[in-house]
Chains A and B, each alone.
Chain A
Amino acid sequence: ETGVTQTPRHLVMGMTNKKSLKCEQHLGHNAMYWYKQSAKKPLELMFVYNFKEQTENNSVPSRFSPECPNSSHLFLHLHTLQPEDSALYLCASSQEQGQGGYTFGSGTRLTVV
């Protein structure tokens, strides 16, 4: 365990389903990140929250909706996804945006069928 916990570890969902990914950290970090890792591609930044405020939305389609109710929790709500959205979704946290070491979760492997 790295200190950043992601659930579920694996998720299979249909294109019409609605699901949510959860990320939790109790490291006292104030910045949390969602990344997407597709096969054979570098990690892509999706969203950043710094002190609970969204500071980055990296041109992510609206079928992905983040939520950060407090500095310890981050959600990614999914609806009407496409098969090409199948990927590993990684959450990370750091002391503040762009500062300090990043701690990553184990990821959620998402398959859209």
Chain B
Amino acid sequence: DTGVSQDPRHKITKRGQNVTFRCDPISEHNRLYWYRQTLGQGPEFLTYFQNEAQLEKSRLLSDRFSAERPKGSFSTLEIQRTEQGDSAMYLCASSMAGQGAGEQYFGPGTRLTVT
């Protein structure tokens, strides 16, 4: 297994367009997380799945954001009607339930630029 992968790595979109990102976690990991990171800041938690269930959502996740993990494997994060403030790095991480808490393995991220 090569680790957590994310696609695309970079996305440039115009304000008002919808975008969708994909995350493929480490295959045996049943927990999946989305974070957002802006320049000069640490990642901020967005949402968390255990298997296909979305168990936690941050207040940062406005109603324009939706995340899914339909079969408990890969996940998608969609942003509707993008705004310039959505420009950030979107990071996905995965972990195994019962594993030492905190050992989340991160993907390379998707950098979103909204023009």
Q: Do A and B bind each other?
A: no
B residues at A contact (CB < 8 Å): none
Q: Which residues of A contact B (CB under 8 A)?
A: none
